[in-house]
Amino acid sequence: MILLKDIIGHDEIIRALKGALVSGRVSHAYLFAGPRGVGKLTTAVAFARALVCSLAAGGDACGECDSCGRVKRGVHPDVRVIGPEGATVKISQVRQLSAGIRFGPAAGRWTVRIVDEADKMTAEAANSLLKTLEEPLPGVVIILVTARPQAVLQTVSSRCQHMYFQPLLKHRLVEALIRLTGAPEDEVLPAASLAGGSLGRALDLFSGGLAARDRARRIIHRLAAAGVEDALALASEAPASREETIPLLDMIILWLRDVMVYNETGDPGQLINADSRGEISILADQFTTGRLLEMIADTDRARGRLEAGANVLLALESLFLRLAGMIPDLDRQEEVV
pTM, full prediction? 0.74
Beta-bridged to residue 146, according to DSSP, are 33
Beta-bridged to residue 140, according to DSSP, are 111
Q: How confident is the model at residue 274 (pLDDT cuts 50, 70, 90)?
A: confident
DSSP-assigned letters across all residues of 67-91: HHHHHHHT--TTEEEE--BTTBB-H
As a whole number, mean pLDDT of residues 12-41 equals 95
- CA-CA distance, 111 to 23, in Å (whole number)? 17
List pLDDT tens digits, range 2-19.
Answer: 899 999 889 999 999 999
> With 80 as the cut, is the pLDDT of residue 285 above it?
yes
Report pLDDT for 331. 46
Report pLDDT for 326. 66
The answer to whether 189 and 174 have CB atoms below 8 angstroms apart is yes
Measured in degrees and rounded to the nearest 5, phi and psi for residue 288 equal -80, 160
The answer to whether 139 and 110 have CB atoms below 8 angstroms apart is yes
> With 80 as the cut, is the pLDDT of residue 332 above it?
no
The answer to whether 173 and 192 have CB atoms below 8 angstroms apart is yes
Q: How confident is the model at residue 26 (pLDDT cuts 50, 70, 90)?
A: very high
**Domains defined along the chain, listed by start:** 4-164 (3.40.50.300), 206-336 (1.20.272.10)
CA 51, 54, 60, 64 dihedral sign is negative
Q: Between vectors from CA 106 to CA 117 and to CA 32, what angle results, nearest 5°? A: 25
- CA-CA distance, 107 to 103, in Å (whole number)? 11
Report pLDDT for 188. 87
Averaged pLDDT of the chain: 90
The answer to whether 61 and 53 have CB atoms below 8 angstroms apart is yes
User: How far are the Cα atoms of 114, 144, 179, 260, 270 from residue 265, in angstroms, in the given order?
Assistant: 46, 42, 34, 9, 8
> With 70 as the cut, is the pLDDT of residue 264 above it?
yes
- CA-CA distance, 127 to 122, in Å (whole number)? 9
As a whole number, mean pLDDT of residues 172-188 equals 89
